[in-house]
């Protein structure tokens, strides 16, 4: 086991010593700061409730919205949901909270698709680059099995995903704290859940929001890893994985008339369908999706392993 | 000789339907430098890739200190250090980081050992620079350093003189002799240029079309000299040719103000003496072809070594 950690350390060094990896982090940082500037309007929105008259403010808002609804039918549903939300605050006597770092982190959960993208790039390169650089020859002629080397590379990809995810969380929180301040350590917020509005913990929402996207991240990174191990070339792996990630839902939609559509990977990556209680296809359950995902996952890894350990390393 | 450090037993490689290596058998002893010569495409690199486990064997076995590369890979490869084709390094890491990377892959390589190999190959100065900035000669040395980290019993160098200038080749020649003589390492060097490695090898094996055509002891070959080809620069050249014809019954050809002749090695000093006594100025005497090269040309049957 000792030398597995050495291998892992080597892979991490090779990853983080390169400028291209740092550029990825700089990109994330720039995006988070940009988003903080854009979120300033949300601060102003929440500002008007931050006094003792917040009940009055909410009621005034409701009457105003009702008046507007009578004149204009276009935005009916949005307006009425706003009234519903305001009423929830009034009925439960909850003061709307000011915008803070926690909410900023929660709203930034879409940044996880960027993390997925970067993880795919890393996964696609980690084996293929060794072939491109020619260093694979020196890497493999050591008293270490190829299985172990491949495993160290795969775990290294997962570690990269983890570090990058933590970076998004922490950096968002720090930037959020600087821009908007921190409003308590166990913040709650009123959100529209499947059973209507509810007062929920933001931290719980953060864990759920980020956690659910991890399924797609891990599956697509493993897929890119497999393609790059088969073809020993990173561009194809990046292209294919990103294309599939973006068009996944369209693919499921295209084949939705067929019985076997529920076995498509992308029909099972979105766990939200079980939280909302509306599975994509009939006969699907949480257990079913986990089983399908597990089968894909094992196939991806097994194919990578076979190609990496069994094939000759021949000339260019 | 001592026990074999590496032994190839009827090694075969078939790719598709084509038999690339057709049953190679030879052995390399400790402290010996073995030259592996053959024209491009003869199967040198394929053989070397099989020796280090980068390619699987279609038949036969490679044994390193008695451990089979097929059945006991880890124990076998533990004793091997190698450069396969070009010494490719991580260009974004310094020389030292590159060595550290490989050192971590083998238990027991200390920081002190890393320093040792750095000074052995004389890379102290640029070791903290990025390997991407290294010249080919420096990369070649870093490659050798990397191969020596774990004190292997067998050192395999694929075309180590490729792209090096004459000074670099001489330096490598010195390291290799030193390694073989002082550390008792078995060294295998492949090349398509006999002249470049002839002087550092104890034995030379000639491979052609995936078959070992001949294995020749270098010292024995130079000892059993017969006729060698000699070029002489002398003035006046016409008289020199005349003297040769009269005294030794040798018909020398004159080209570019030089005499070309075939003569027994032992007669060369006598000819020079005769020339001196006839008042002929001698500027230069060169052996144009070594006997070994001649022998290999004959074996290959065509001029394809170069």
The pLDDT of A96-105, averaged and rounded, is 84
The answer to the question of residue B208 being in a domain is: yes
The answer to the question of residue B47 being in a domain is: yes
Mean per-residue pLDDT of chain A = 87
The answer, for A306 touching chain B at a CB cutoff of 8 Å, is no
| B134 and B279 share one domain | no
The segment with the largest mean pLDDT, out of A206-215, A296-305, B117-126, is A296-305
Distance between B21 CA and the closest CA of chain A, angstroms: 14
The model's pLDDT over B131-183, given as tens digits with 9 standing for 90+, comes to 999 988 889 889 999 999 999 999 999 888 777 778 878 888 888 888 899 88
| B38 and B160 share one domain | yes
Distance between B59 CA and the closest CA of chain A, angstroms: 15
CATH number assigned to the domain comprising residue B85: 3.40.50.300
**Does the distance separating the beta carbons of A133 and B82 come in below 8 Å?**
no
Residue B234 pLDDT > 80:
yes
The pLDDT of A113-127, averaged and rounded, is 94
| B262 and B215 share one domain | no
| B180 and B285 share one domain | no
Grade residue A197 by pLDDT with cuts at 50, 70 and 90: confident
- Beta bridge mates, B14: B19
The model's pLDDT over B26-41, given as tens digits with 9 standing for 90+, comes to 999 999 999 998 888 8
The pLDDT of B47-68, averaged and rounded, is 92
Distance between A217 CA and the closest CA of chain B, angstroms: 28
| B231 and B285 share one domain | yes
The answer to the question of residue B302 being in a domain is: no
* Least confident among A49-58, A89-98, B278-287, B294-303: B294-303
The answer to the question of residue B296 being in a domain is: no
| B167 and B256 share one domain | no
| B250 and B141 share one domain | no
> How many inter-chain contacts (A to B, CB under 8 Å) are there?
77
Grade residue B305 by pLDDT with cuts at 50, 70 and 90: very low
| B210 and B91 share one domain | yes
Distance between B178 CA and the closest CA of chain A, angstroms: 24
**Does the distance separating the beta carbons of B88 and A313 come in below 8 Å?**
no
Of B149, B161, B125, B290, nearest to B218 by C-alpha is B290
**Does the distance separating the beta carbons of A312 and B92 come in below 8 Å?**
no
| B181 and B237 share one domain | no
The answer, for A6 touching chain B at a CB cutoff of 8 Å, is yes
**Last-in-domain residue among B197, B222, B247:** B222
| B19 and B137 share one domain | yes
- Chosen for mutation from B50, B73, B88, B190 (greatest number of chain A CBs closer than 10 Å) is B88
Closest CA in chain A for residue B48: A314
The answer, for B85 touching chain A at a CB cutoff of 8 Å, is yes
Residue B1 pLDDT > 70:
no
**Does the distance separating the beta carbons of A7 and B104 come in below 8 Å?**
yes
**Does the distance separating the beta carbons of B80 and A141 come in below 8 Å?**
yes
The answer, for A1 touching chain B at a CB cutoff of 8 Å, is no
Give residue B277's domain range: 226-289
Task: Tally the domains of chain B.
Answer: 2
pTM of the model: 0.84
CATH number assigned to the domain comprising residue B273: 3.30.70.920
Residue A71 pLDDT > 80:
no
ipTM of the complex: 0.83
């Amino acid at each position: 086991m000792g030398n597995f950690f050495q291998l892992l350390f080597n892979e991490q060094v090779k990853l983080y010593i390169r400028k291209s990896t740092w550029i990825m982090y700089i990109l994330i940082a720039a995006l988070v700061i940009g988003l903080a500037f854009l979120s300033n309007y949300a601060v102003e929105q929440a500002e008007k409730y931050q006094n003792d008259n917040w009940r009055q403010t909410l009621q005034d808002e409701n009457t105003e919205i009702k008046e507007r609804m009578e004149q204009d039918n276009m935005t009916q549903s949005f307006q009425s949901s706003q009234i519903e939300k305001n009423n929830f605050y009034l009925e439960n006597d909850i003061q709307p909270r000011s915008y803070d770092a926690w909410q900023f982190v929660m709203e930034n959960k879409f940044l996880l698709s960027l993390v997925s993208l970067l993880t795919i790039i890393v996964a696609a390169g980690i084996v293929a680059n060794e072939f491109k650089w020619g260093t694979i020859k020196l890497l493999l002629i050591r008293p270490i099995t190829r299985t172990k080397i491949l495993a160290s590379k795969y775990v290294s990809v997962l570690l990269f995903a983890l570090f990058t995810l933590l970076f998004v969380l922490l950096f968002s929180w720090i930037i959020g704290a600087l821009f908007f301040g921190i409003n308590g350590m166990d913040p709650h917020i009123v959100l529209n859940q499947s059973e209507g509005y509810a007062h929920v913990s933001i931290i719980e929402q953060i864990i759920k929001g980020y956690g659910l996207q991890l399924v797609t991240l891990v599956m697509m990174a493993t897929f890119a890893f497999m393609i790059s191990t088969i073809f020993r070339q990173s561009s194809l792996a990046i292209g294919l994985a990103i294309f599939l990630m973006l068009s996944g839902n369209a693919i499921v939609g295209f084949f939705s008339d067929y019985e076997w559509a529920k076995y498509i990977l992308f029909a099972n990556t979105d766990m939200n369908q079980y939280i909302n209680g509306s599975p994509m296809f009939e006969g699907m359950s949480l257990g079913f999706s986990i089983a399908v995902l597990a089968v894909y996952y094992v196939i991806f890894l097994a194919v990578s392993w076979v190609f990496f350990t069994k094939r000759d390393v021949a000339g260019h | 000789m001592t026990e074999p450090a590496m032994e190839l037993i009827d090694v075969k490689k078939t790719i598709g339907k084509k038999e690339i290596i057709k049953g190679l058998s030879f052995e390399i002893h400790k402290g010996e430098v073995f030259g592996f010569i053959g024209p491009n495409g003869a199967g040198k690199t394929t053989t070397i890739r099989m020796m280090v486990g980068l390619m699987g064997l279609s038949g036969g076995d490679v044994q390193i200190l008695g451990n089979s590369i097929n059945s006991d890979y880890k124990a076998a490869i533990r004793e091997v250090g190698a450069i396969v084709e070009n010494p490719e390094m991580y260009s974004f890491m310094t020389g030292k980081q590159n060595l550290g990377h490989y050192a971590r892959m083998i238990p027991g390589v200390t920081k002190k050992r890393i320093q040792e190999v750095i000074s052995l190959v004389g890379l102290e100065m640029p070791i903290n620079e990025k390997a991407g900035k290294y010249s080919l000669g420096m990369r070649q040395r870093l490659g050798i350093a990397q191969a020596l980290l774990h004190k292997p019993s067998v050192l395999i160098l694929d075309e180590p003189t490729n792209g090096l200038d004459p000074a670099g080749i001489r330096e490598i020649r010195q390291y290799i002799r030193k390694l073989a003589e002082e550390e008792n390492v078995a060294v295998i060097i492949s090349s398509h240029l006999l002249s470049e490695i002839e002087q550092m090898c104890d034995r030379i094996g000639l491979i052609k079309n995936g078959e070992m055509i001949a294995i020749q002891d270098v010292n024995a070959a130079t000892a059993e000299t017969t006729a060698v080809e000699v070029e002489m620069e002398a003035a006046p050249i016409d008289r020199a040719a005349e003297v040769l014809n009269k005294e030794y019954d040798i018909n020398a050809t004159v080209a570019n103000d030089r005499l070309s002749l075939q003569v027994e090695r032992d007669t060369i000093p006598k000819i020079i003496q005769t020339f001196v006594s006839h008042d002929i100025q001698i500027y230069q005497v060169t052996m144009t072809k070594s006997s070994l090269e001649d022998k290999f040309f004959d074996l290959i049957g065509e001029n394809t070594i170069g």
